[in-house]
Amino acid sequence: MDIPTLESLNLLAVLPAIILAAYTGLLLVVDLFIPNENKQRTALLAILGLGATGVALGVQINQYSAIGDQMAFGGLVIVDGYALFLQGIFLLSAILGILMAMNYLPRRGIERGEYYSLILFTTVGSMFMALANDLMVVFVALELLSIPLYVLSAFIRDDPGSEEAGMKYFLLGAFSSAFFVYGVALIYGGTGTTSLDGVAAVLAGEALNLPLALVGMGLLLVGLGFKVAAFPFHMWTPDVYQGAPTAATGFMSVGAKVAGFAALIRVLVTAFPGAAQAWGLLVIAIAILTMILGNVTAISQSNAKRMLAYSSIAHAGYILVALSAAQFPELAQEASSAALFYMLTYTITNLGAFAVVMAIEKDDGSGVEIEDFAGLAKSRPAVALMMLIFMLSLTGLPVSAGMVGKFFVFGVAINAASQSVWLAIVAIVGVLTSVVSAFYYMRIVYMMYMRDGDEEAEYPAIKPALGTALAVTGIGTLVLGFLPTLLFDAAQRALIAGL
Amino acid sequence: MSEWTFIALLLVTAFIFPAIPIVAGTLLGPRKPNEMKNSTYECGVETVGDTWVQFKVQYYIFALVFLVFDIELIFLYPWAVAYNQLPLFGIVAGVVFIITLAEALVYAWRKGALEWL
């Protein structure tokens, strides 16, 4: 084997991810010398690093139309529109996640500098999930993404609920990683390569003669299904989301899920077009069951964090609807851009919803029952209005980002319906379960606006950091609702030379 | 299928190989049991006291910190052997690796993991 030279690695192509990785390492050491009472500085430094990475990414996006797709690390990593768009989502969610934590951690008495470093580590992992063009890179990125999240879930060390969350997430996450590695091993056994393009080339035309690779593909679906919390691999989600500190829950409900989908879509569409019929049916079945289970179970929840956990399962189902349309090569591009756009709307809206939960959560972690939203419109009109926007968007009602996202996702499934009746069915189930979801989202709105709450209820003060996060997510949700073409075009352009 | 035949052969051999001395020992060896011989073998020394004792968690932390050096050694040894044939990238990769590990050590040190309490 030849040892690569510095030039052949094309490190410049992955500069944003490298900047963030190096900065994270630096921040971990710098944080050691920041006194405990000044950990907000670590948070600001973390945001600074994310901002610098964002600038590098912006330059890359700017040059993308001129340069086009690039490979790095000898083809292990691909920098295409798909990866650039997703990296933008990850940076955005990391910045919002840190802004929310800056306010939340000191109140819960758990502000340790590692929190911010861990968020950056996860973000680096997510970025490589989007960049990966080889199953081994996907795996390493998956671990870099997951391990910090296990720690973040257990961050309230003396709280049994948080410990339980961390333990459950770790055990099931490790289990799913094992599935993933086994899948990679079988695919290597069947095709002799782990490169996505290589697998596609071997599978072309004779996928059904390579059962080993097909079983491997199924195992990859299991491993990544855990990460995105799709049925029947969603079991950990409610407990982990409820037990983890709310700031971490909000962050991982978008970061881990979007990164999981980033890899899932890339792997299935790039490496397994030859087996599209096989995974197409699997994805349709998983999508239907995920949407039904998530939405129906969310109705009976009394805890807002748990309700949002089931809601996030349901949203994984909607993204799977878009993925199921990607089994037809001529629709793969449209389906992927619909999924990308949906992930962007979901990221902004869901982070916003968790920011509101944080805004009413008491210092001991209680006060996040749905009952606790009662009378919020009177005592905190601005926060209630924000929550109204987010709930409308999560339901998918007009003039919100969520409506546009669902429109694209179901639209691409309807477009594909002429090819297979199953696509029509999955779209219909999606629309029907969206109606069901209105029931539990609107219950919070009903609580806030129609019910009188405890007059004496005291809500914690909203500090500038959380206020900024709320404002950004709220405005973002509205802007994406009013001007959807703005970013959908970007999502589509992102894919022209992509997948 | 010929490669699989070898694996099957290896599997069978792997079972037979350790079985032979055990069976042979039972059949051929003289049998003169006494109390000493029948006792549980524990590194030659009998256990004193209850084995269900709590260990200081610091042993665990020390073992983790030891891994820094352990892994460093394993990877740096072949790197050092091939050093004069490496291109620039090989040097850079090695240095990045050492810096990463050193950072972990600095972190553990600064957090007090090396103080024995």
Q: Which residue of A has its CA nearest to B105?
A: A29
Q: Which residue of B has its CA nearest to A30?
A: B107
**Separation of alpha carbons A186 and A177, rounded Å:** 14
**Separation of alpha carbons A433 and A410, rounded Å:** 12
Give per-residue pLDDT as tens, A225-249: 999 999 888 889 999 999 999 999 9
The residue of B4, B7, B79, B89 whose CB has the most chain A CBs within 10 angstroms, and thus the best one to mutate to test that interface, is B89
Burial class from Cβ neighbours inside 10 Å (0-12, 13-18, 19+) for residue A107 reads middle
**Separation of alpha carbons B93 and B100, rounded Å:** 11
Cβ-Cβ contacts under 8 Å, B100 against chain A: 25
CA distance B106 to chain A (A): 8
**Separation of alpha carbons A445 and A214, rounded Å:** 46
- Residues in chain B, how many? 117
Tell me whether residues B87 and A32 touch, CB distance under 8 A. Answer: no
**Separation of alpha carbons A341 and A132, rounded Å:** 20
Tell me whether residues B89 and A32 touch, CB distance under 8 A. Answer: no
The residue of B103, B107, B109, B110 whose CB has the most chain A CBs within 10 angstroms, and thus the best one to mutate to test that interface, is B107
**Separation of alpha carbons A262 and A211, rounded Å:** 25
Tell me whether residues B87 and A3 touch, CB distance under 8 A. Answer: yes
Q: What DSSP letter does each residue of B88-108 carry, written as one string?
A: HHHHHHHHHHHHHHHHHHHHH
Q: Which domain holds residue A82?
A: 6-493
Q: Is A3 helix (H, G, I), strand (E, B) or coil?
A: coil
Q: What would the mean pLDDT of B64-75 be, rounded to a whole number?
A: 87
CA distance A29 to chain B (A): 6
Q: Which DSSP category does A268 fall into?
A: I
Of A4, A5, A28, the CB nearest to B103: A28
Tell me whether residues B88 and A25 touch, CB distance under 8 A. Answer: no
Q: Which residue of B has its CA nearest to A28?
A: B107
Q: What DSSP letter does each residue of A63-118 carry, written as one string?
A: HHHHH--EEEGGGTEEE-HHHHHHHHHHHHHHHHHHHHHHHHHHHHT---THHHHH
Pinpoint the alpha helices (H) of chain B.
Answer: 2-28, 35-38, 57-81, 88-110
CA distance A14 to chain B (A): 16
Give per-residue pLDDT as tens, A412-448: 888 888 888 888 899 999 999 999 999 999 999 998 8
Who contacts B24 (Cβ-Cβ below 8 Å, separation ≥6)? none
Give per-residue pLDDT as tens, A40-88: 888 889 999 999 999 999 898 888 878 878 888 888 899 888 899 899 9
pTM: 0.87
Rounded to 10°, the helix A401-415/A464-482 angle is: 40
pLDDT at A207: 61
- Across B42-57, b (16+ Cβ under 10 Å) vs e yields eeeeeeeeeeeeeeee
CB A297 within 8 A of CB A232: no
Cβ-Cβ contacts under 8 Å, A4 against chain B: 89
Residue A174 lies in a domain: yes
pLDDT at A487 over 70: no
Cβ–Cβ contact B107 with A under 8 A? yes
**Residue A47 Cα to chain centre, angstroms:** 19
Largest alpha-carbon pair distance within chain B?
Answer: 67
Cβ–Cβ contact B100 with A under 8 A? yes
Tell me whether residues B88 and A5 touch, CB distance under 8 A. Answer: yes
Q: What would the mean pLDDT of A210-223 be, rounded to a whole number?
A: 89
Of B87, B99, B110, the CB nearest to A32: B110
CA distance A6 to chain B (A): 5
Instruction: pLDDT band for A479, please (50, 70, 90 cuts).
Output: confident
Task: Give the position of tokens 């929550």.
Answer: A387
Residue A181 lies in a domain: yes
Tell me whether residues A5 and B103 touch, CB distance under 8 A. Answer: no
Residue A454 lies in a domain: yes
Residue A499 lies in a domain: no
Count A/B contacts: CB-CB distance under 8 Å: 26
Q: Which DSSP category does A456 fall into?
A: T
Of B89, B99, B110, the CB nearest to A5: B89
pLDDT at A208: 64
**Separation of alpha carbons A474 and B62, rounded Å:** 48
Instruction: pLDDT band for A39, please (50, 70, 90 cuts).
Output: confident
Task: Considering only residues A460 and A290, tell me which one the structure prediction assigns the higher pLDDT.
Answer: A290
Residue A340 lies in a domain: yes
Cβ-Cβ contacts under 8 Å, A6 against chain B: 87-89, 92
Of B89, B100, B110, the CB nearest to A4: B89
Cβ-Cβ contacts under 8 Å, A32 against chain B: 106-107, 110-111
pLDDT at B50 over 90: no
Instruction: pLDDT band for B72, please (50, 70, 90 cuts).
Output: confident
Q: What is the rounded average pLDDT for all residues in chain B?
A: 85
Q: Of the ranges A28-37, A397-406, A427-436, which one carries the lowest mean pLDDT score?
A: A397-406
The residue type of A159 is D
Q: What is the rounded average pLDDT for all residues in chain A?
A: 88
pLDDT at A457 over 80: no
Closest CA to A232 of A221, A217, A246: A221
Q: Is A280 helix (H, G, I), strand (E, B) or coil?
A: helix
Q: Which residues of A touch B (CB under 8 A)?
A: 3-6, 9, 25, 28-29, 32-33
Cβ–Cβ contact B11 with A under 8 A? no
Closest CA to A245 of A305, A312, A173, A169: A305
Residue A25 lies in a domain: yes
The DSSP element (H or E) to which A14 belongs, if any, is: none
Who contacts A37 (Cβ-Cβ below 8 Å, separation ≥6)? none
ipTM over 0.90: no
pLDDT at A498: 44
Cβ-Cβ contacts under 8 Å, B90 against chain A: 3
Q: What would the mean pLDDT of A102-108 be, rounded to a whole number?
A: 87
Q: With helix as H, strand as E and coil as C, how does A316-380 read?
A: HHHHHHHHHHCCCHHHHHHHHHHHHHHHHHHHHHHHHHHHHHHHHCCCCCCCCEHHHHCCHHHHC
Residue A246 lies in a domain: yes
**Separation of alpha carbons A212 and A190, rounded Å:** 5
Query: What residues does A132 pair with on adjacent strands?
Result: A77
pLDDT at A343 over 60: yes
**Separation of alpha carbons A221 and A168, rounded Å:** 20
Give per-residue pLDDT as tens, A330-341: 888 888 888 988
Q: Is A245 helix (H, G, I), strand (E, B) or coil?
A: coil
Tell me whether residues B106 and A9 touch, CB distance under 8 A. Answer: no
CA distance B92 to chain A (A): 9
**Token reading at A406:** 């669902």
How many independent structural domains does chain A possess?
Answer: 1
The DSSP element (H or E) to which A390 belongs, if any, is: helix A381-395
CA distance A131 to chain B (A): 20
CB A376 within 8 A of CB A390: no
Residue A498 lies in a domain: no
Q: Which residue of B has its CA nearest to A8?
A: B89
Task: Give the position of tokens 């050491």.
Answer: A29
Who contacts A151 (Cβ-Cβ below 8 Å, separation ≥6)? A114, A118, A166
Region of A75 please: left (phi>0), alpha (psi -120 to 50) or beta: left
